[in-house]
Amino acid sequence: MRITKIVLVVLAVIVISAVGFVYLAPENAVRLLINMQRAQAGLDRKEVQLAGGLHYVYLEGGKGEPLMLLHGFGANKDNFTPVARYLTTRYRVIIPDHIGFGESAHPVDADYSPPEQAKRLRAFANALGVTSLHIGGNSMGGHIAMTYAALYPEDVKSLWLLDPGGVWSAPKSVAMITYDMTEQNPLLIRKEEDIMTLLQLAMSNPPYIPRPIRNVEARQRIKNYTLEQRIFKEMVADSVEQRINGLTTPALIVWGSEDRLLNVETSKILNRLMPRSQVIVMQHIGHLPMIENPKQSAQDYLNFRATLFP
């Protein structure tokens, strides 16, 4: 009985200390959590300076064929950390922060359209000695991934498209209908409270995140608000449909059935445009399959890759 009490007291002290750490030093808590996730996934943080002066920060881990994973609008490289733990055992996984986001360069006067981002990413890949690769992308990252494949079809062996953007002829989503009616962009963060609204919109069942942790992310987004406004306008002004019409790159198109940011019907349009594509609709999943169900997302991708070059 006495031992049980001691154990309970020790556990209580640990829990109280952890809670105190989160509330008193949230930036340090976020950094610790991120580093733990990266270590679990076998990813290391790296940096590279391109010949033109642009600075990329990226995650890399594993061995095998290169697989570049591209995050969406307003996000960063760690959106792919949860799923990467299932992929670094098979592939050389490379996850950059796009120029304009995360820790990579934020040039004020740059062109942030998907074609320009794709051109930069090719220069980034070449700087790492990568000339042939597989590419995956979520949302804006999928938009850029498809553009990369259209611009450099001989470089790209396959595409993994998770709720990708760029198909603006599709039926409007809940978020886009709201945007049209109110002119309030739910993807932009103006104040700390907006981050929770966005999480609830982006995920079918968002996990509990302590407020201090959420606010760390919110403050980073608020700081980047003005630039993100401009990037968003350049992104939605660019349609990928004509660019990929008839593209023969093998593609796995994945969509969350409860995506409220980009309508799931978009997957059918992409499937028609790309003759070597296949579609998986994940039930009870929102806009971020690689976060909401990383294990199943990875397994579906591994199954897809197994069919490419028997």
- Catalytic residue from among 217, 287, 292, 297: 287
Phi, psi of 269 (to 5 degrees): -65, -45
pLDDT in the model for residue 253: 98
**pTM greater than 0.85:** yes
pLDDT in the model for residue 26: 63
β-partners of residue 57 are 47
The full length of the chain comes to 310
- Catalytic residue from among 71, 98, 134, 143: 71
By the 8 A CB rule, do 228 and 106 touch? no
How many whole angstroms separate alpha carbon 150 and alpha carbon 173?
Answer: 26
pLDDT in the model for residue 31: 85
How many whole angstroms separate alpha carbon 70 and alpha carbon 263?
Answer: 20
Q: What is the pLDDT along the chain (310 residues), one digit of tens a residue?
A: 555 545 443 333 333 333 444 445 567 878 899 999 999 999 999 999 998 889 999 999 999 999 999 999 999 999 999 999 999 999 999 999 999 999 999 999 999 999 999 999 999 999 999 999 999 999 999 999 999 999 999 999 999 999 999 999 999 998 888 888 887 899 999 999 999 999 999 999 888 888 888 888 889 999 999 999 999 999 999 999 999 999 999 999 999 999 999 999 999 999 999 999 999 999 999 999 999 999 999 999 999 999 997 5
- Catalytic residue from among 27, 47, 193, 265: 265
Contacts of 10 (CB under 8 A, 6+ apart): none
Measure Cα distances from 284 to 172, 206, 256 in Å.
Answer: 19, 12, 7
- Catalytic residue from among 139, 158, 173, 297: 139
| 183 annotated active-site | no
Domains: count for the chain: 1
Parent domain of 21? 2-306
By the 8 A CB rule, do 234 and 144 touch? no
User: CATH no. for residue 267?
Assistant: 3.40.50.1820
How many whole angstroms separate alpha carbon 300 and alpha carbon 295?
Answer: 9
Measure Cα distances from 61 to 43, 64, 137, 244 in Å.
Answer: 4, 10, 17, 30
| 287 annotated active-site | yes
β-partners of residue 92 are 66
How many whole angstroms separate alpha carbon 288 and alpha carbon 136?
Answer: 13
